[in-house]
Amino acid sequence: MLNKLLLVLWLAGPAFAKQFPDVDCVILHLKTVRCTWNGHGNLTVNYTFHSWFHNEKARACEMYLTSNRIRNGCIQPYGDISNRFTMFYTRLERDNRTSPKRHDLVKKVKLNPPTNLTVQKGADNVWFYWNQILPSCVQNEVCYRTCYKNWDCFPQTCAVLHGKQNYCINLPSDCSRYELKVRSSLDETCSASDWSDWSDPVIWISNNSTECDQGTGSTFVIIVCVLAPVILILMVVLLLRYERFRIIFIHVVPEQSLIPQDKIEPWLEIPKDLKQSFKASYHDRACPVQEYHHVSQVFTTPDWKCLMRLVSKKCIK
């Protein structure tokens, strides 16, 4: 029974054994070949790598790529420039087991971004120059922006140039800060490839570049000048609506004794409560009045005053 179990495990062993990761290769800038085998998960073991082009001998990896001390790739010399039109072979090895694979690298080329970007100002234009490998086989995509705008590549700001390593902007605008970047790929005549990464932008600034830099500040000033009066008017309307304060404009009022009471109202239009302040108000002390009796010629000072008031009809009954 035990012998049968061991036989089953020995036969099923390869099925349970961990499979080799897949290998993917790319030609970098027509100078080296980079192969990686990271797979869909984290690698836990190291593999030995060999590679060769058709009609060449197998060659061990000269420079491994590692992550956490585990090999996950290899960089090999590219050799002759025509090699990418021949088949490329790879082989992973571990524990006397191998995983061979062949690759067609005709279109799997990724160039480096263009280098040495420079700018030259002409009479009424601006020229941009750069360097790239194999100018006759390379196409370059150019994008530029002005005054810190977005890098959105519209037809008027983006162009694909075949076999050229320069670009001209005619009649630059007054807001003359230009940023230009370039990326490259092999064109159809040399078996098209993927685009490279974008180059670092190159900048051209004219003597009037301050106009561009001040654009944001001038916009802010315009917004403030427009919004400030609107906000002030709204505040005044709200305050008047809710009667937080009230402003009354009146003329200079002469002294009350110089203007008759009946002529004040048509001359001065003021609230009712303010009009009341112009009405005369007299309050005299009341004096008692009795029937006439003969009195002596001797009067006290208070009685004499009362008699005089009675005569003048100002004594209040």
Higher pLDDT pick, 150 / 95: 95
Quickly list DSSP for 74-139: EEEE--SGGGGGS-EEEEEEETTEEEEEEE--SS-EEPPPPEEEEEEE-SSEEEEEEE-S-TTTEE
Confidence of residue 243 (pLDDT cuts 50, 70, 90): low
State residue 129's pLDDT score.
94
User: What is the C-alpha to C-alpha distance for residues 73 and 65, in angstroms, rounded to an integer?
Assistant: 5
State residue 217's pLDDT score.
47
State residue 302's pLDDT score.
52
Model confidence at 317: pLDDT above 50: no
Q: What is the mean pLDDT of the chain?
A: 76
Confidence of residue 183 (pLDDT cuts 50, 70, 90): very high
Give the pTM: 0.57
Range 178-187 average pLDDT: 92
State residue 159's pLDDT score.
83
State residue 178's pLDDT score.
87
| Domains, the chain, ordered by start | 20-109 (2.60.40.10), 112-213 (2.60.40.10)
Edge-first strand listing for the sheet containing 88-94: 59-60, 48-53, 88-94, 97-103
